Structure 1
Amino acid sequence: MMSLLVVGAILLSIILGYKTRINIGLFAIAFAYLIGCFGLGLSPNDVIKMWPLKIFFIIFAVSLFYSFAIINGTLEKLAEQLMYRCRRVPHLMPYAIFLTTTFISALGAGYYTVLAFMAPITLLLCQRTGMSTVLGAMSVGYGALTGANFMASQSGIIFRSIMVNAGITENQAFINSISIFVSTAIIPLVVISIFVFFTGHRKSMSASTDQIEAPAPLNKEQRQTLWLTLIMMLLVLAAPIANLLFPDNGTVSFINSKMNIGLIASVFSVIALLMKLGDERKAIASVPWPTLIMICGVGMLISVAIKAGTIDALASWMGSSIPSVLVPVVIGVVAAFMSLFASTLGVVTPALFPIVPSLAQNLALDPMMLFICIVVGAQATAISPFSSGGSLILGACPNEETRAKLFPQLLFRAAPLGFAAALLFNLLITFVL
């Protein structure tokens, strides 16, 4: 009974958040308190301790450092430079948009931030070149998702943190995050290729992108910010990769054990401030506080669900009601439907990742495969106009006419195509690999 109550609270939080436009995390915190204290008999301190402090600190520290590249215009200028250099191959512009957005997002800006400044640029290119708006939307949306999934970027860091909280070792979580990044990079390239080469896209390109004006070069502060960002990413990735390559080396293991991306990002934030690469108040204001509240608030409610036995009950039900060979595919489909209306980072992965270890153990499945299926499924429908990503793309439309035309295309073409591609991919890794 209590498990059903917690599941209902999670669903109600999503529905109320969607209907009222109030942060889902705030509803989740309220339900965590009411169910935890008055349903499970926990003390208020016990409920407060369920706030995922480690995840909060890592996201805050990393976002703070990456915000310098946003507020001083480094990322936007870099995007314009990369797009300009791809202007002579207009029919391949969707790949240029996807790869550019992936690179910018991988530098740490995060999914929503990248969409905020890349979506308007992309839709403007669609007008100038005759490129399909739905193809442009898919290219920029999937590029932002793929780059954010990079191991040292926002989503990749969050995925690893949730996995570790669910009982996965740091090393294995890092390996899982590499697999998620590679998987979510393959699917968009396949989908974009189908659009480019099998839908008459090349004939619809009415003009070249030669008319794109050359952007101004990066200034001194922007070049310094870019170099600082690349150095931090290299530092963060070098230690775990070296540890995977040389697991028996004591020095490498010691250095890796002292590495924490949140603390490293904090040090680099101080360096950026000393170098005067951005204003401290603007940097702090640029931290994605709504995303932080949503992720941590839902995390509290998921912790209550674990206390109530909901996670174990859900894993047990899936293990007994669904043939084990179909579980990866089914969990991917569940993630896809959840993602139509809810955030992958804030709701889908915090809700589904915790059931993976017990599910994998009971059914003798590879946990990595389940993690991949969840993220692939969730991000397949992230371009739905009802999701936060799809909403941002619609908001970037230059006029109401374009917006009205793009809405059904995202809902009835982009989301179903992404879902079909994800389903085929999950079937492939389940039955072939």
Structure 2
Amino acid sequence: MMSMLVVAAIVAAVALGYKTKINIGLFAIAFAYLIGCFGMGLSPSEIINMWPLKIFFVIFSVCLFYSFATVNGTLEKLAEHLIYHCRTVPQLLPFAVFFAATVISAMGAGYYTVLAFMAPITLLLCQRTGMSLIVGGMAVNYGALSGANFVSSQSGIIFRGLMTNAGVSDNDAFINAFGIFVSTLVIPLIVIAAFVFLAGHGKALKASAFAATRPESLNSQQKTTLWLTLTMMAIVLAAPVAHIALPDNATITFINSKMDIGLIASIFSVIALLLKLGDERKAMASVPWGTLIMICGVGMLISVAIKAGTIDILASWIGSSIPPVLVPVVFGIVAAFMSLFSSTLGVVTPALFPMVLPISTSLGLDPMILFIAIVAGAQATSISPFSSGGSLILGSCTSEQSRSTLFPQLLFKAAPIGFVAALIFNLLLTFVL
């Protein structure tokens, strides 16, 4: 009975947030308090302790540091240079857009920030070069998603935090997060390649010629920001990679145990401020506070669900009712459906990740397969015009005519193709791993 009540509360929080445009996390906190204290007899301090403090701190620290590169224009300038250098091979322009979005997003800009400044650039390139709107839209959208999934970028950090909260070791969480990044990099590349080389889009691009104005060089402040960002990424990645390569080395094990991306990012934020790489107030304002509240609020409600045994019941039902080979596909479908109405980071992954270990243990599946299936499925439909990503792309159209042309292409072509590609990938992954 209590499990059903918690599930109803999760659905209600999402529905109320969707309807009222109020942060879902705030509704989740209210439901966690009411159900936990008055329905399950938990104390208020127990409910407050369910706030995922580590995830909150890591996301805040990393986003604060990366916001300097956004505030002082480093990432936008870098995107312009990457696309400019593709002017001599126009048929490869979709891949240039994809990789530019991936790199900029991986360097900390995050999904929405990259779409905000790269979608208008991409759609303008579509007009100048003959690149179809659907190919351009898919390239910038899935590139931004893939880059954000990198292990040291915003989404990748959230995934790692959710995994460790669900009982996965730090080392395995790093490996699983890297698997998610590679998978969400490969799937859209295959889809874009099919459009360019099999559907005739490449020939149209090759026949076109477009003039690109050389962007201005990075100024000294932006160059410093770029090197500082690359240095932090190298430090964050070096220790876990070395530990995976040499797990028995005592020195590397010790260093890796002392590494924390949130604390490292805090140090680099201080360095950025001392070097005057950006305004502190603007950098602080760029932190995605709404996303933080949503993730942590829903995390509290999910913790109540775990306490009530809801996650174990759902995991047991899936493990006993669905053939093991289809479990990743089912997870992908459920995640894709959920993401149509809610956030992948704030709702879908916090709700589904806790089920992975119980199900993978009972069915003998590699947990990485299920983690990848959830994220790939959830992000496949992100280009729908009803989602935040698709709506940002539509909003970047320069005319009402191009907007009305792109809307049905995103809804009836891009989103279904991305969804089917993710499901096929999830099915193949089951046999490969």
Q: Give me the whole-angstrom Cα distance separating, in 1, the residues matched to 2:380 and 2:28.
A: 25
Mapping of residues 6-405 of structure 1, within 5 Å: 6-205=6-205, 208=208, 210-405=210-405
Q: Is the 8 A contact 1:97 1:139 kept in 2?
A: yes
Aligned letter for 1:391?
Answer: S
Q: Give me the whole-angstrom Cα distance separating, in 1, the residues matched to 2:411 and 2:18.
A: 17
Aligned letter for 1:112?
Answer: Y
Q: Give me the whole-angstrom Cα distance separating, in 2, the residues matched to 1:209 and 1:303.
A: 56
**1:311-338, CA deviations, whole angstroms, 9 ceiling, x for partnerless residues?**
0011011011111221111111111111
Q: Give me the whole-angstrom Cα distance separating, in 2, the residues matched to 1:11 and 1:400.
A: 35
For the residue of structure 2 that corresponds to 1:211, the secondary structure is coil
Q: Give me the whole-angstrom Cα distance separating, in 1, the residues matched to 2:79 and 2:149.
A: 18
Aligned letter for 1:314?
Answer: L
Q: Percent identity among equivalent residues?
A: 73
Q: Is the 8 A contact 2:91 2:206 kept in 1?
A: no
Q: Give me the whole-angstrom Cα distance separating, in 2, the residues matched to 1:432 and 1:220.
A: 47
The alpha carbon displacement at 1:157 in A equals 0.8
Q: Give me the whole-angstrom Cα distance separating, in 1, the residues matched to 2:238 and 2:209.
A: 38
Aligned letter for 1:42?
Answer: L
Q: Is the 8 A contact 2:50 2:300 kept in 1?
A: yes
**1:88-136, CA deviations, whole angstroms, 9 ceiling, x for partnerless residues?**
2222211110011101111011111111111111111111112111111
For the residue of structure 1 that corresponds to 2:410, the secondary structure is helix
Q: Give me the whole-angstrom Cα distance separating, in 1, the residues matched to 2:394 and 2:271.
A: 37
The alpha carbon displacement at 1:400 in A equals 2.5
Aligned letter for 1:339?
Answer: S
Q: Is the 8 A contact 1:128 1:207 kept in 2?
A: no
**1:72-98, CA deviations, whole angstroms, 9 ceiling, x for partnerless residues?**
000000000111111122222111100
**1:135-184, CA deviations, whole angstroms, 9 ceiling, x for partnerless residues?**
11100000001111111111111111100000000011111111111111
Q: Give me the whole-angstrom Cα distance separating, in 1, the residues matched to 2:222 and 2:239.
A: 27
The alpha carbon displacement at 1:258 in A equals 0.5
Q: Give me the whole-angstrom Cα distance separating, in 2, the residues matched to 1:23 and 1:398.
A: 30
The alpha carbon displacement at 1:403 in A equals 2.0
Rate the CA distance shift 1:22–1:399 in 2: closer, same or farther, 3 A: farther
Q: Give me the whole-angstrom Cα distance separating, in 2, the residues matched to 1:282 and 1:213.
A: 30
Which is worse superposed, 333-342 or 202-211? Answer: 202-211
**1:347-373, CA deviations, whole angstroms, 9 ceiling, x for partnerless residues?**
111110001011111111111111111
The alpha carbon displacement at 1:388 in A equals 1.7
Which is worse superposed, 417-426 or 382-391? Answer: 382-391
Q: TM-score, normalised by structure 2?
A: 0.98
Q: Is the 8 A contact 1:138 1:383 kept in 2?
A: yes
Aligned letter for 2:182?
Answer: V
CA RMSD of aligned residues (A): 1.3
Instruction: Give the aligned partner of residue 2 of structure 1.
Output: 2
Aligned letter for 1:336?
Answer: A
Q: Is the 8 A contact 1:87 1:208 kept in 2?
A: no
Which is worse superposed, 383-392 or 112-121? Answer: 383-392
Q: Is the 8 A contact 2:129 2:210 kept in 1?
A: no
The alpha carbon displacement at 1:206 in A equals 8.6
**1:4-46, CA deviations, whole angstroms, 9 ceiling, x for partnerless residues?**
1111111122222222222111111111111111211112221
Q: Give me the whole-angstrom Cα distance separating, in 2, the residues matched to 1:389 and 1:406.
A: 13
Q: Is the 8 A contact 1:105 1:147 kept in 2?
A: yes
Q: Give me the whole-angstrom Cα distance separating, in 2, the residues matched to 1:420 and 1:176.
A: 22
Aligned letter for 2:293?
Answer: I
Q: Is the 8 A contact 2:89 2:206 kept in 1?
A: no
For the residue of structure 1 that corresponds to 2:259, the secondary structure is coil
Aligned letter for 2:144?
Answer: A
The alpha carbon displacement at 1:380 in A equals 1.0
Q: Give me the whole-angstrom Cα distance separating, in 2, the residues matched to 1:399 and 1:158.
A: 36
Q: Give me the whole-angstrom Cα distance separating, in 2, the residues matched to 1:336 and 1:193.
A: 23
For the residue of structure 2 that corresponds to 1:318, the secondary structure is helix
Alignment coverage as a number of residue pairs: 433
The alpha carbon displacement at 1:237 in A equals 0.3
The alpha carbon displacement at 1:399 in A equals 2.6
Which is worse superposed, 34-43 or 110-119? Answer: 34-43
- Structure 2: state its 5+ residue gaps: none
The alpha carbon displacement at 1:401 in A equals 2.5
Instruction: Give the aligned partner of residue 430 of structure 1.
Output: 430
Q: Is the 8 A contact 1:129 1:206 kept in 2?
A: no
Q: Is the 8 A contact 2:17 2:24 kept in 1?
A: yes
Which is worse superposed, 199-208 or 381-390? Answer: 199-208
The alpha carbon displacement at 1:416 in A equals 0.3
Please identify runs of 4+ aligned residues in structure 1 that moved more than 6 A.
Answer: none
